[in-house]
Amino acid sequence: MHLLDTYTGQFVEKDPKDEDTVYAILSHTWNHDPPEQTYDQLKKIQEHPELSPKIRDACAVARKAGYQYIWIDSCCIDKSSSSELSEAINSMYHWYGYAAMCYAFLADVPPDDDPREISSRFRQSRWYTRGWTLQELIAPLQVMFLSNEWTVIGSKTVLADLVEEITGISGEALLHVKSLDEFSLAQRLSWAAKRETTRVEDRAYSLLGLVNINMPTLYGEGALAFRRLQEQIVQRVPDQSLFAW
C-alpha cells in the first residue's frame, strides 16, 4: 500500500500486515470545493510537496502523536489503475483494522462543541451519513474524533455509548468486544441502511469488509453491484437473515 511519510510528504511502499509497519489512517468526508488532492496530483508535486491543507494537517496530527506514516484514501490510491483500485477497495476494511490509530476528521464540528448535548454538531455530523465511514468507524480498534480545527473531541472508547445512540451500531461491535461474525447479516446491513454514497456502486463496495466478501469492482455497473454482493453472500455465508433485511 502507498503510505505518506508524515515528515516528508513522500509516498512509501509498506505491507500493512507487517508488524513493523505502524501507521495512522484518516477517515473523512470528501471535499468538492476545493476538491481532494489525488494520487496523480500528489505524485506530480512530490519533489516539492505542496500538500493540501487537509493532508498537511492530517500529517501534522499523526506526526505529533509519533506516527511516521499515514494512509489517506483520497490520495493514497492510484485510481488510474483499475487493479489497484479494486485491490484497495477489497482490502480497505483490513487496512483500517491494521492501523494503530484512525483519525475521524469531522469537518462540520467546531472545537467548542459538546458532543453529548442533544443538539450538538457532533450528533448531526455528515460523517455519520456516509457509506464508507461505516467500516472506518468499526474496523479500527482505536478511533479519535477530531473537530474541524483538528482538535481532539474524544475517542471511540470514551464516546462509545453516544456513538451507539447516533448510529445504532452495537457498542460491542464498536469496541471489538464481539467479532462481526457474531452479528447477523441483517444487523450489519441495517447499520448501513440510512447511509449514502456518491457512486451507486459504492453502496455495495463499502460493505465488503463488513460482510467479509471479496469481489471484483466494476464502476459503471450501477445497482448490479449490490445484486452481485447479495449473490456472493448467499453463496458463501449460511445466514438467512440476509433475506429478512
CA nearest neighbour of 133 among 60, 25, 35: 25
Q: What is the pLDDT of residue 50?
A: 74
Q: In the structure, what pLDDT confidence band is assigned to residue 234 with cuts at 50, 70 and 90?
A: confident
- Whether residue 34 has a cis bond before it, omega within 30° of 0: yes
Output the pLDDT for position 241. 60
Average per-residue pLDDT in the chain?
91
What is the length of the chain? 245
- Asked if 144 and 104 count as a contact pair (C-beta separation under 8 A), the reply is yes
- Percent pLDDT > 90 in the chain is 81
- Residues pairing with 105 in the sheet: 146
| Angstrom distance (rounded) from CA 214 to CA 232 | 9
pLDDT for the residue 55: 92
Residue 33: pLDDT band (50, 70, 90) is low
Which pLDDT value is given to residue 89? Answer: 96
What average pLDDT does range 214-218 have in this prediction? Answer: 94
* Secondary structure of residue 223 in the 3-state scheme: coil
Residues 86, 72, 144, 150, Cα dihedral to 10°: -150
- Which stretches of 3-81 are DSSP H helices? 39-44, 53-64
| Inter-residue contact 4 to 76 (CB < 8 Å) | yes
